[in-house]
Amino acid sequence: MAIKAEEIAQVAYLARIQVTEQHTESLTKDLNQILDFVDQMKSVDTSSIAPLGNPLEANQPLRADDVTEENEREALLSNAPATTDGLFLVPKVIE
Give the tens place of pLDDT for each residue, 39-88: 999 999 989 988 887 778 777 788 899 988 899 999 999 999 999 998 99
**What pTM was estimated for this model as a whole?**
0.50
Angle at 58 between CA 56 and CA 64, to 5 degrees: 165
CATH architecture designation of domain 5-42: Orthogonal Bundle (1.10)
Contacts of 40-49 spanning 24+ positions with Cβ under 8 A? none
